[in-house]
Structure 1
Amino acid sequence: MKAIFKKEINAFFANTTGFLVLGMYWVINVLFLWFFNSDYNILNSGNANLVPFFELSAWIFIFLIPAICMKSFSEEQKSGTLELLYTKPITKLNLVLGKFFAALAITGIALLPSLLFVACIHFLVKNSYQVDFPAIFGSYLGLGLLTCSYIAISLLASAFSKNQILSFSIGAVLCLAAFFALEGISNIALFGSSIYAMEYLSLSFHYKSLSRGVIDTRNIVYFLSFTALFIAICIHRLQKTQGQ
Structure 2
Amino acid sequence: MYAVFKRELFSLLNSMMAYITIGVFLLVSGLLLWFFPDTSILEYGYAELNGFFSLAPFLFIFLVPALTMRSFAEERREGTYVLLASRPLTDWQIILAKYFACLTLIIFALIPTLLYYYSIMQLGMPKGNIDGGAVAGSYIGLLLLGGAFAAIGIFASSLTKNQVIAFALAVFLSFIAYSGFDALGKIFAPGIPEDIFVWLSVNEHFQSMSRGVLDTRDLVYFITFMLLFLGMTKLVIGGRKW
Give TM-score, length-normalised by structure 2: 0.96
Whole-Å separation in 1 of the counterparts to 2:34 and 2:217 = 34
Secondary structure in 1 matching 2:9: helix
Secondary structure in 2 matching 1:187: helix
Q: CA deviation at 1:127?
A: 2.6
Q: CA deviation at 1:128?
A: 4.5
Give TM-score, length-normalised by structure 1: 0.95
Cross-structure match for 1:57 = 56
Query: Which amino acid in structure 1 is aligned with residue 113 of structure 2?
Result: S
Whole-Å separation in 1 of the counterparts to 2:51 and 2:3 = 37
Q: How many residues align?
A: 241
**Deviations, residues 188-211 of structure 1 (Å, cap 9, x unaligned):** 2x3466711111111000000000
Query: Which amino acid in structure 1 is aligned with residue 7 of structure 2?
Result: K
Cross-structure match for 1:11 = 11
Cross-structure match for 1:82 = 81
Query: Which amino acid in structure 1 is aligned with residue 63 of structure 2?
Result: L
Whole-Å separation in 1 of the counterparts to 2:84 and 2:174 = 28
Cross-structure match for 1:102 = 101
**Deviations, residues 56-84 of structure 1 (Å, cap 9, x unaligned):** 11110001100000000000011111111
Cross-structure match for 2:180 = 181
Whole-Å separation in 1 of the counterparts to 2:15 and 2:202 = 33
Query: Which amino acid in structure 1 is aligned with residue 137 of structure 2?
Result: G
Equivalences for residues 65-76 of structure 1 within 5 A:
65-76=64-75
Unaligned runs of 5+ in 2: none
Whole-Å separation in 2 of the counterparts to 1:56 and 1:234 = 29
Equivalences for residues 112-191 of structure 1 within 5 A:
112-128=111-127, 130-188=129-187, 190-191=188-189
Unaligned runs of 5+ in 1: none
Cross-structure match for 1:226 = 225
Secondary structure in 2 matching 1:130: coil
Q: CA deviation at 1:156?
A: 0.2
Q: CA deviation at 1:13?
A: 1.8
Query: Which amino acid in structure 2 is aligned with residue 225 of structure 1?
Result: T
Whole-Å separation in 1 of the counterparts to 2:60 and 2:128 = 30
Query: Which amino acid in structure 2 is aligned with residue 59 of structure 1?
Result: F
Is 2:47 aligned against 1:22? no
Whole-Å separation in 2 of the counterparts to 1:133 and 1:117 = 13
Cross-structure match for 2:40 = 41
Whole-Å separation in 2 of the counterparts to 1:167 and 1:186 = 28
Whole-Å separation in 2 of the counterparts to 1:112 and 1:205 = 24
Whole-Å separation in 1 of the counterparts to 2:199 and 2:44 = 28
When residues 5 and 126 of structure 1 are mapped into structure 2, their CA distance, relative to the original with a 3 A threshold, is same
Q: CA deviation at 1:133?
A: 0.4
**Deviations, residues 2-53 of structure 1 (Å, cap 9, x unaligned):** 1111111111121322211111111101111000112x32223332221111
